[in-house]
Structure 1
Amino acid sequence: MFRIRAVQVQEGDSLLVSYGATDRPRHLLVDGGPSQSITTLLPVLKDARVDDVLKLEALVVTHYDLDHIRGVIELLESLPPWLEIEDVWFNGYHHLGASDSLGLKEADALSALICKLGLPWNKYFQISGNDNAGRAVLQDPRPILLPDGLEIRVLSPDQRGLSALARVWKNPAVPPTEPRQVLGDALGRTNTWPPKEFSASRAHSYTPDRSIPNQSSIALLLTFENKRALLAGDALAEVVKAGLELNGPGVDTIDLLKVSHHGSKGNTHMPLLALMGCKRFLISTNGKTHNHPDHELIERLVADGRNPEIIFNYNTGWSGKWKHRPQGWPFYKARYPEHGNQFVDVLL
């Protein structure tokens, strides 16, 4: 089996990846959503236990935005006795500088918890075989192999993204956050319904996200039994595209894209979509804060005769509006959580 389960964590991301034998799958958890996500995340994790234990091969925290990290902090602050974590993939303050050793100022909340609990930290990126903490999770053409055959390639961040974060992260105890003021309609707050008439030319218009936290976002390409899922976090389209190209002159078709930044129009562009050849897209958000997904993002997904399946982890709010295809727009299939579920599953 190879399954991506997108948990309902408000406007945030939390993905439980399961692969391997159906009766005893292995798991990764990618992000934990914003504060109070534990009320939906914990039951999902408990339900995945086998013999009263859930082992995560990796707990991935893509970046410091609160709608990705806060739920992980709450989970580790009250770590259930049945939850085992083999490795934490996360770029902390000490990964941004020239030195890869932990320093005395490593005091931000998540880093302090990792150290307090004695969890392995980026061990798959370790400097030598004896290290409990490794180098930064960084774009690389070399795959990482997890038990039972899951191959992972890191597509983002690149060194430029980590360096940009280093320039603004001055206090080790207080990571930088998204700016409160965003110019224009960068986050889609002025979108109204119904959307404008579909425009193929507008689909190719693109203004990129320049958020410094998002420049540092981890994006992963997962391959299992010849099926591929790209979990884009909040990463930048141009960095993810470069990461794919770094892994070979030709890119195999991607079977699922977890769309970057909850469907923001500034994080997915047409050149990336053309390179992937993907026709299944997963969007994680309730749309409450920023009216995500943006109209322009959906316009790109349905353009060029793609006839995609667009999968939402909420069936209400802004996401629910896409149940009915706007008049004159190209065909697509919208899929939502099954009745009563606080998640949506994608089987690959």
Structure 2
Amino acid sequence: MFRVRAFQVAHGDSLLVSYGRDDRPYHLLVDGGPSRSWSTLRPLLKSALVGERLRLEALVVTHYDRDHIQGVIELLEHIPDWLEIGEVWFNGYHHLSPSDLLGPREGDTLTQLIRRYGLSWNTSFRNQKNGQNGAAILQSSNAVSLPGGLEVSVLSPDQDGLTALGRHWTDPTSPPVDSESAPNDLLGPRDEWPPKRFNLNGGSDFVSDTSIPNRSSIALLLTFDSKRVLLAADAFADVIKRGLAISLPGKEPIDLLKVSHHGSKGNTNKSLLDGLGCKRFLISTSGEIHKHPDHALIERLVARYDNPEIFFNYSQDWPGNWKVRPANWPDFQTRYPQEGEQFVDVLL
């Protein structure tokens, strides 16, 4: 069994990756959505209990944007007695500059919670110089092997992305305010329904996201039972492409892409998609605030005319519009949560 479950956490991301035997799966939780997401996540995680326990082999916080991290903070502030966290993967302030390693002034909320509960932090990325404390999570050719046989490769961030975040994150007690939308993406809310006539190039030239927190996103390539999943967080297309060249030089096809930045047109370009060989795409957003996914992004996903599947974790409002294929557009299939469910599943 290899499954990605995208929870309904408004405009944010929260993914439960499950793999292994059906009766004894292993789990990886990636992000927790914006504030007030814990009331949704708690019962959904509890439904995955095996023997009255749920173990997360890793809890991944891809970056410090509110729509990814606040639900994790809520989880750690109210850890239920049935939840076990094997390891936290998160690039904190002290990972940005070696001179500030474990500096006493570092006091952002997530760091305080990780240390309060003595959670294992980035230990899969440990090296001799930092002993028990894990190193920064960075693009690398070295895969991490998790219990149960999941291989994890880091595609983003690269060193330049962490360095840029270090220049931006100047107060160790307070992370920088995130940019909810990159400047070029502000045009997204101008999309209207129905879309204009299909444009092979996505309606306009690609202009990349410029958000520094997004540039530092942890994007992962997961491999299990010869299936490959790319979880792109809010990462940049060019960084992911370079990461794939390092971690997947054979250019084997990707079986599922969790599309970057909730379907923003500034984070996924044709060049990246052409190299993936992927026909299944997952978009995590309710569409509120920014009306993601952008029309241009969907155009890029379907431009190969190979009838792809697009999974949405919300079936109403802006994402729900795609239940009906616009006139003159190539064929594609849409998948939504089953009635009454607060998530959508993708089975690999």
Both proteins in one fold, TM over 0.5:
yes
1:228 alignment counterpart: 228
Matched-pair contact (CA < 8 Å) for 2:182–2:211:
no
Alignment of 1:110 with 2:110, yes or no, is: yes
Mapping of residues 12-161 of structure 1, within 5 Å: 12-99=12-99, 101-128=101-128, 131-161=131-161
- What SS is found at the alignment partner of 1:337? coil
Percent identity among equivalent residues? 61
Q: Which residue of structure 1 aligns with residue 254 of structure 2?
A: 254
- Measured after TM superposition, the shift of residue 101 of structure 1 is 3.1
**Amino acid of the structure 1 residue aligned with 2:61:** V
Task: Look up the SS of the partner of 1:331 in the other structure.
Answer: coil
Alignment check: 8 A CA contact 2:184 2:207 kept = no
Paired residue total: 348
Say whether the 8 Å CA contact 2:95–2:136 is kept in structure 1. Answer: yes
Query: How much does 1:191 deviate?
Result: 1.0
- Where in structure 2 are the equivalents of 1:154-303 lying within 5 Å? 154-179=154-179, 183=183, 185-186=185-186, 188-202=188-202, 205-303=205-303
TM-score w.r.t. structure 1 length?
0.97
Shift of residue 86, structure 1, vs aligned partner: 0.6
In structure 2, what is the Cα distance between the partners aligned to 1:201 and 1:113? Answer: 45
Whether the aligned pair in 1 keeps the contact of 2:92 and 2:111 (CA below 8 Å) is yes
Q: What's 1:319 paired with? A: 319
Segment of structure 1 superposing worse, 301-310 or 149-158: 301-310
In the alignment, is the contact (CA less than 8 A) between 2:34 and 2:70 conserved in 1? Answer: yes
User: How many Å separate the matches in 1 of 2:165 and 2:129?
Assistant: 28
Contact 1:197 1:329 in 2 (8 A): yes
Structure 2 unmatched ranges of 5 or more: none
Structure-2 separation of matches of 1:53 and 1:71: 20
SS in 1 for 2:190: coil
Deviates more, 1:295-304 or 1:200-209: 200-209
Unaligned runs of 5+ in 1: none
Partner SS state of residue 205, structure 1: coil
Amino acid paired to 1:101: L
- Cα distance 1:279–1:2, how it changes in 2: closer, same or farther (>3 A)? same
Change in CA separation of 1:50 and 1:291 when aligned onto 2, cut-off 3 Å: same
CA RMSD for the aligned pairs?
Answer: 1.6
| Kept in 1: contact 2:229–2:254 (CA 8 A) | yes
Q: TM-score, normalising length from structure 2?
A: 0.97
Contact kept, 8 Å, 1:203 with 1:270, in 2: the verdict is no
1:268-290 CA-to-partner distances (Å, cap 9, x unmatched) read 00111111100000000000110
- CA drift of 1:56 comes to 0.4
Change in 2 beyond 3 A, CA 1:320/1:58 = same
Query: Could you report, residue by residue, the CA deviation over 1:243-300 in whole angstroms, capped at 9, with x for unpaired residues?
Result: 0001243211000000000000000001111111000000000001100000000000
Of 101-110 and 222-231, more deviation after overlay is shown by: 101-110
